[in-house]
A and B are shown apart, each in its own frame.
Chain A
Amino acid sequence: MTDAVLGDTLPHDVTTFDKGYLGDGHTLRSWLFTTDHKRIAILYAVTITIFFFIGGIAIALVRIELVTPAQDFVTADEYNRLFTLHGIVMVWFFLVPSIPTTFGNFLLPMMIGARDLAFPKLNLFSWYLTIIGGALTIYMLLAGGVDTGWTFYTPYSSIYSNSHVIAAAMAVFVAGFGTIATGVNFITTIHTMRAPGMTWFRLPLFVWAMYTVSVVIVLATPVLAMTLLLMTLERFFGVPIFNPNEGGDPLLFQHLFWFYSHPAVYIMILPAMGVVSEVIPCFARRRLFGYDFMVYALIAISVIGFFVWGHHMFVSGQSAYANLVFSFLSFIVAVPSAIKVFNWTATLYRGQITYESPMLYSFGFVGLFTIGGLTGLFLASIPIDIHATDTYFVIAHFHYVMVGGTVSAFFAALHFWWPKITGRMYPEAWARFAAILMFFGFNFTFFPQFIMGWAGMPRRYGSYPPEFQIYHVLSSAGAAVLAIAYLMPLAYLTWSLRWGRRAPDNPWRATGLEWQTSSPPPTHNFEKLPIVENEPYDYHPRGYVDQEHEAAGTAESPQKGGEQR
């Protein structure tokens, strides 16, 4: 079935690195000083892959420790440093940059019909900031690590911790400016560089996701930078800001931190929503259901997402009445997310659905994101949250959103655009197997954590009462499966770079301007800049126009008011 969809008419070449933008220089210099958004995307992809595996190794050690109730594999201090490393690396050096800096960078100009981003040099500078932040993280790790948890709560971080808090905070601080610069670049590009005919409501949903996420990044990340700076001032110079013994307020830190870090959740999930909104219409051969509502939902999420930070602080000592307000707003912000899930599902209606690996990953995304979102409603309910917060229930919830959601979508994007980016096809059977394995491995790992969380297992514990062991063993076993599922794409995608079949320009017969140029694209993206005349996701009403379906289509009764085009 797949092979029928994919053409393979081009001859096998020895190397893939001689075509399009990839053939534009093979020296290290040609990569490190490039201003081509596509090459910078590749630099980012290599960087975040390395950090993904650093964060992965850290959590693998944590899961080994948790197989037994006693603290017996690493010491308590080492355990605290491992989960902190996992959190910092996965949030700021994988999830936040993941989709925007790789697929956003690569695809955004092509999707709107531009030759590059608005500020190509700033784009390269963003990558260097990320690299400096990453280098500080590696330094912090080699120097002995940090043990505050990724949340850096004061006064523990600013006064009591005996670890490399300042190095870690500066790493995040610097990398944050890289993200801000990327956001500014994207906003400017989308405003000023759209091709003729590419109106706002013809933008692919992925571009809308990049736009909204950029706005959130630009508004929220400076608050994080400021917060970490204040924490560093207190730790390094003793400036009393959060220390209650000097008249400071430790809760102030939490308000500031979550004022960034709750929108940061949307920084991580909005791009994933954008990816899935591209993939599902393509493999369902169907216009995205409720395009306008999908756009409004993205905007609503990014606006309301700024006003719900207090739901992280229901037990912190915050006023009970503030809790009620934050709880209510948290329910409201869930509405547009629910609408998106319904719309993805409805897009399948009357489709011509095929199940290539990007579609399997996207199905996984919808299912896992739905569970992640619904358990978010549990945590938005104050009395439920009072019991469940700071337990594994919360861990399970945000991993369903961040890993089941964002990482699944990241892999969907990787498989969907891999032929465009590299000019090569990967072995589809292996890719489908990895997608299915990832779905099951994920559920094996994280579903038991819901149960043990409600049963009372607190997070950030290296040793625990024996009644929780069964769940930890299940979770660790699932993590082993998940690890294999993550390593598999690394293997077969690398393999495909040399031995994969040549990819045609549009292997999935998708709409979207990025598919109208060659694979891999030329340095300036398009031989001739496109003019847009069609609505987005303009798939044929019956999916395909070839003979077989034309025949099937004749059997159908004419729809009232439909098919006027």
Chain B
Amino acid sequence: MRHFIFFPPEASEYARHIDWIYFGLIGISVIIVGLVVVLMVSFGIRYRRGSPAVRGRLPEWVSRDVEIGWTVGTLFAFVFIFWFAAATFITTIGATPNALEIHVVGKQWMWKIEHPNGVREINELHVPVNVPVRLVMISQDVIHSFFLPALRIKQDVLPGRYTSESFTADKTGIYNLFCAEYCGTDHARMGGRIDIMTKPDYQKWLDAQPGAHNLAEKGRQLFVRLGCAGCHFEKGHTRAPDLAGVYGSYVRLANGRTVRADEAYLRDSILQPARDIVAGYQPIMPSFKGTVSEDQIFDLVAFIKSYSGSGEAIK
């Protein structure tokens, strides 16, 4: 009984909003269940066998009108609830500008988390309060799901594809983190906590961690070490396209399509370079599948995202 709870804590404006929808639905449900139960009990008593209540047939039109009445009524009620809930959902679609981007890699059975400055942690997620945070997530093996009950958000984490979830916490504290998609033996232990801290505390915490250096910088070093720079930094860009400012831009492909260079596109281009060839180039880039880990891909992508063309000074 020590921890008796009815509701998970609400650590964001969004969580409180969701709880309001939840209460609204409970209210509607109580009315409908109440209506059915009251009708069943009152009919059940009034029309018990042998009671003096009036019996006899109902005219046809009564039952038809009643039928049409509650069909239409129910339809309107349900469409209203749909709209009521979906309206909230629609506001969450789309990118959050200027979000603090944190990378999450799921694997059986742990969460590996990497902050923008390269600080890593396992099964714990430290975030600052009142700052929009966007988690970019991928799995190294099976499907997992990153579930933060206090923020009322959950998103499956897939192998081979980035998914993301965003939140802005407004209450400091330590809350549960669970894996919500069954992933094998220790699924129940694949969890930890989210520590929502004040901004100064978060900064203090970051500074105290070892291994802090810029993610993009790590990515740049890797970029050179893997030999990418040989073609992509070449003057004139005859063998490989220029990566300066490519992130977020629209790229014309050899097959005539145009795609937006988002994280998923960059990741695919590293692992399956032959899939989407940029117009005007030969498919000569080797695949890095098996050569780079998901963590390293995050670093490379972080570098490409930050790269604006001033890095040519590489020998």
Contacts and interface: CB of A to CB of B under 8 A. Distances in A.
Contact of A374 (B2, B32, B60, B63): B32
A512 B272 CA distance: 66
B184 A161 contact: yes
Contact of A331 (B61, B78, B147, B152): B78
Given A156-B142, A556-B54, A563-B56, A293 B159 contact: no
A149 B74 contact: no
A374 B28 CA distance: 9
Interface in A369-397: 370-371, 374-375, 377-378, 380-384, 386-387, 389-391
B49 interface: yes
A477 interface: no
Interface in B173-192: 176, 178-189
Interface string A337-380: 01101110110111111110000000100110011001101101
A11 interface: no
Given A80-B184, A350-B53, A370 B33 contact: yes
A323 interface: yes
A80 B187 contact: yes
B50 interface: yes
A370 B34 CA distance: 10
Interface string B65-80: 0110011001100110
Contact of A562 (B50, B57, B155, B161): B57
Nearest to A565: B57
B18 A244 contact: no
A350 B54 contact: yes
B21 interface: yes
B241 interface: no
Given A332-B78, A470-B4, A549-B50, A389 B142 contact: no
B63 A378 contact: no
A353 B37 contact: no
A562 B186 CA distance: 67
Contacts of B55: 350-352, 541-543, 552-553, 556
Contacts of A332: 75, 78
Interface in A426-480: 451, 454-456, 458-467, 470
Interface string B212-238: 000000000000000000000000000
A341 B108 CA distance: 45
Contacts of B179: 458
Given A293-B67, A458-B178, A353 B159 contact: no
Nearest to B151: A387
A245 B147 CA distance: 25
A163 B91 CA distance: 43
A565 B59 CA distance: 12
B3 to A, nearest CB: 3
A251 B204 CA distance: 41
A559 B59 contact: yes
Contacts of A351: 43, 47, 55
B47 A465 contact: no
A10 interface: no
Nearest to A247: B272
A155 B143 CA distance: 7
A320 B93 contact: yes
B56 A541 contact: yes
Nearest to A76: B185
B29 A390 contact: no
Interface stretch (B5-13, B97-105, B113-121, B122-130): B5-13
B30 to A, nearest CB: 9
Given A76-B185, A352-B50, A556-B54, A381 B158 contact: no
A179 to B, nearest CB: 26
B43 A353 contact: yes
Contacts of B5: 455, 467
A470 B179 CA distance: 22
A464 B179 CA distance: 12
B78 A377 contact: yes
Interface stretch (B82-90, B195-203, B278-286, B299-307): B82-90
A156 B143 contact: yes
A142 interface: no
B81 A377 contact: yes
Interface string A135-156: 0000000000001110001011
Contacts of B32: 338, 370, 374
A464 B188 contact: yes
B33 A244 contact: no
Contact of A315 (B49, B75, B155): B155
B180 A463 contact: no
Nearest to B40: A345
Contacts of B58: 349-350, 559, 562
A466 to B, nearest CB: 6
Given A245-B160, A370-B33, A375-B29, A349 B185 contact: no
B36 interface: yes
A354 B49 contact: yes
A345 to B, nearest CB: 5
B6 A250 contact: no
A555 interface: yes
Given A467-B4, A542-B55, A562-B59, A349 B43 contact: yes
Given A77-B185, A377-B25, A352 B49 contact: yes
A412 B66 CA distance: 28
Contacts of B47: 284, 348-353
A562 B56 contact: yes
A160 B3 CA distance: 36
A458 B147 contact: yes
A381 B25 contact: yes
Nearest to B108: A160
Contacts of A289: 63
A389 B142 CA distance: 18
B48 interface: yes
Contacts of B254: none
Interface string A499-522: 000000000000000000000000
Contacts of B54: 350, 556-557
B52 interface: yes
Contacts of B29: 371, 374-375, 377-378
B40 A366 contact: yes
Contacts of A355: 44
A290 B186 contact: no
Nearest to B187: A460
Contacts of A328: 79, 82, 86
Nearest to A284: B47
Contacts of B313: none
A315 B145 contact: yes
A250 B158 contact: yes
A245 B272 CA distance: 10
Contact of B79 (A331, A348, A558): A331
Contacts of A560: 59
11 contacts: A76-B185, A80-B187, A290-B66, A328-B86, A334-B78, A335-B74, A383-B88, A384-B18, A455-B7, A456-B149, A459-B182
Given A332-B78, A466-B3, 11 more contacts: A149-B182, A331-B82, A355-B44, A387-B18, A390-B145, A451-B6, A458-B179, A460-B182, A541-B55, A541-B56, A549-B50
Interface of B: 1-8, 18, 21-22, 25, 28-29, 32-33, 36-37, 39-40, 43-44, 47-50, 52-61, 63, 66-67, 70-71, 74-75, 78-79, 81-82, 84-86, 88-90, 92-93, 108, 141-143, 145, 147, 149-150, 152-156, 158-161, 163, 176, 178-189, 272, 289
